[in-house]
């Protein structure tokens, strides 16, 4: 073994302090944790402030109301005495959102699955771009397209449902008019929430571990069996999250639904007949003409929509937490 002797008088190289780098990293970690915690607290404070504002503004209308707020289907807040309720609004909102989810979730998941695991790279890129492009279309465009183009072409569907499934009250149409119905509004909402569900689900499908896919195929599984056994269990929480985000938009959509529905305050279970109204469309249509009590009543209806949205998201979080052990994330 040879040694190299330094010339006399050569200074020793500086030795870095071992704690400098570690201290900088710890400061960065503390800063990141503080910013993250502050962002979370800011969101909670904002939501609490919104809730307080809605409750404060809705108290005058609720005090002046002489009817049952939850079971009344009329909306006359500015008359003497004041009479209004959210029964018709709740029914219209849940029905349109339910139809939209029933149509959009299977189609969105199918599109995401095809793009992620079936289509070629060039076709997948094109389809993904076209699907995501729908999210950039303003809601008023969907509403005008729905009322001018889609509604006349859905007359045949409404007649077919009435002729062959009319024994079910949901599809019966004794009036013979098939425009501006809950079904038409639900179809437009399904098209509007499709990009959200498809884009998020597609990203979740792509994140499936390659080892899971190859293991299923190595065991002799077909392509569909591989999807059912490897991709769906891993992606189930993400699919639920995508569906809940789509549901949130369907519940709060305003202009498109206001154009598609005939705005009648009644609970009409015949979804192919004209009629129906939602929380958001009622606020948009009545805000400019409402008086002091009317504005308070609209804020009260907005408070109910706020609570419904929170309940939906909380239910989604509970489902995701219960299904997390099947995702493979742990």
* Model pLDDT, residue 1: 45
304, pLDDT greater than 90? yes
Q: Flag whether 136 is in a domain.
A: yes
* Enclosing domain of residue 294: 63-326
Secondary structure of residue 252 in the 3-state scheme: helix
At 326, the pLDDT band (50, 70, 90 cuts) reads: very low
Q: Whole-model pTM?
A: 0.83
**How sure is the predictor about 328, in pLDDT bands with cuts at 50, 70 and 90?**
very low
- The sign of the dihedral angle between the CA atoms of 313, 316, 322, 327 is negative
Average pLDDT over residues 148-161: 90
Q: Is residue 71 part of a domain?
A: yes
* 108 domain-assigned: yes
Query: How many angstroms separate the most distant Cα atoms in the chain?
Result: 109
Mean pLDDT value of segment 183-194:
93
The CATH number given to whatever domain includes residue 310 is 1.10.3720.10
Whether residue 21 is predicted with pLDDT greater than 60 in this model: the reply is no
Tell me if 195 is assigned to some domain: yes
| Predicted confidence (pLDDT) at residue 88 exceeds the cutoff of 80 | yes
Least confident of 47-51, 220-224, 269-273, 291-295: 220-224
In a domain, 214, yes or no: yes
Instruction: Flag whether 57 is in a domain.
Output: no
Number of H helices, E strands in the chain: 13, 2
Neighbours of 276 (CB within 10 A): 32
Q: pLDDT band for position 24 (50/70/90)?
A: low
Residues 6+ apart with CB under 8 A from 86: 69, 70, 72, 279, 300, 301, 304
Angle of helix 18-64 versus helix 292-323 axis, rounded to 10 = 140
Instruction: Tell me the pLDDT of the chain averaged across its residues.
Output: 85
Q: ∠ CA(251), CA(193), CA(180), 5° rounding?
A: 65
Whole-angstrom distance, CA of residue 85 vs CA of residue 98 = 21
**Section 121-133 average pLDDT:** 85
- pLDDT for 329 equals 47
- Alpha carbons 287 and 290: distance in angstroms, whole number: 5
pLDDT in tens, 305-320: 999 988 888 887 887 7
Whether 106 is in a domain gets the answer yes
Q: Which sign, positive or negative, has the C-alpha torsion 268, 272, 278, 282?
A: negative
| Number of folded domains that form the chain | 1
30 domain residue, yes or no: no
Is the separation of the CB atoms in 234 and 253 below 8 Å? no
In the block, tokens 């950039």 appear at 136
């Amino acid at each position: 073994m040879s040694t190299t002797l330094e010339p006399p008088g050569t200074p020793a190289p500086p030795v870095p302090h071992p704690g400098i780098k570690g201290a900088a990293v710890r400061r960065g970690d503390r800063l990141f944790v503080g910013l993250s915690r502050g962002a979370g607290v800011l969101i909670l404070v904002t939501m609490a402030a919104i809730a307080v504002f809605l409750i404060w503004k809705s108290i005058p209308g609720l005090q002046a109301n002489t009817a049952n707020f939850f079971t009344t289907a009329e909306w006359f807040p500015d008359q003497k005495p004041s009479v209004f309720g959210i029964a018709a609004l709740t029914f219209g909102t849940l029905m349109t959102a339910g139809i939209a989810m029933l149509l959009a979730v299977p189609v969105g998941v199918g599109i995401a699955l095809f793009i992620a695991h079936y289509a070629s790279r060039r076709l997948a890129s094109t389809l993904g771009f076209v699907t995501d492009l729908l999210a950039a279309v303003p809601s008023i465009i969907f509403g005008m397209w729905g009322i001018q183009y889609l509604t006349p072409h859905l007359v045949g569907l409404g007649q077919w449902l009435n002729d062959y499934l009319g024994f079910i009250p949901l599809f019966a149409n004794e009036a013979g008019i098939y425009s501006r119905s809950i079904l038409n509004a639900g179809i437009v909402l399904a098209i509007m929430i499709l990009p959200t569900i498809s884009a998020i689900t597609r990203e979740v499908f792509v994140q499936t571990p390659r080892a899971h896919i190859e293991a299923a195929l190595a065991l002799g599984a077909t392509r569909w069996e591989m999807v059912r056994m490897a991709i769906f269990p891993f992606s189930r929480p993400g699919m639920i999250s995508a569906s809940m985000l789509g549901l949130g938009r369907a519940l709060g959509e305003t202009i498109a639904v206001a154009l598609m529905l005939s705005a009648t305050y009644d609970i009409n279970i015949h979804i192919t007949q004209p009629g129906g109204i939602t929380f958001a469309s009622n606020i948009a249509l009545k805000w400019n003409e409402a008086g002091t009590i009317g504005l308070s009543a609209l804020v009260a209806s907005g408070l109910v929509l706020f609570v419904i949205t929170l309940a939906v998201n909380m239910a989604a979080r509970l489902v995701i937490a219960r299904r997390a052990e099947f995702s493979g994330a742990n």
